[in-house]
Amino acid sequence: DIQMTQSPSSLSASVGDRVSITCRASQSISTFLNWYQQQPGKAPNLLIYAASSLQSGVPSRFSGSGSGTDFTLTISSLQPEDFATYYCQQSYGNSPITFGQGTRLEIK
Partner 1 sequence: QVQLQQWGAGLLKPSETLSLSCAVYGGSFSGYHWNWIRQPPGKGLEWIGEINHSGSTNYNPSLESRVTLSVDTSKNQFSLKLNSVTAADTAVYYCATSNSGTNSYGLDVWGQGTTVTVSS
5 near 22, Cβ under 8 Å?
Answer: no
Cα–Cα separations (whole angstroms), residue 31 to 40, 59, 68, 95 = 28, 21, 7, 14
What distance in Å separates the CA atoms of residue 33 and residue 97, rounded to the nearest whole number?
Answer: 10
Task: Tell me the per-residue interface mask from 83 to 102 with partner 1, x by CB under 8 A, - otherwise.
Answer: ----x-x-x--x-xxxxxxx
Among 34, 62, 73, 83, binds partner 1 (CB under 8 A): 34
The least distance separating partner 1 from the CB of residue 70, rounded to whole angstroms, comes to 19
Residues at the contact surface with partner 1, assessed by CB under 8 A: 1, 32, 34, 36, 43-44, 46, 48-50, 53, 55, 87, 89, 91, 94, 96-102
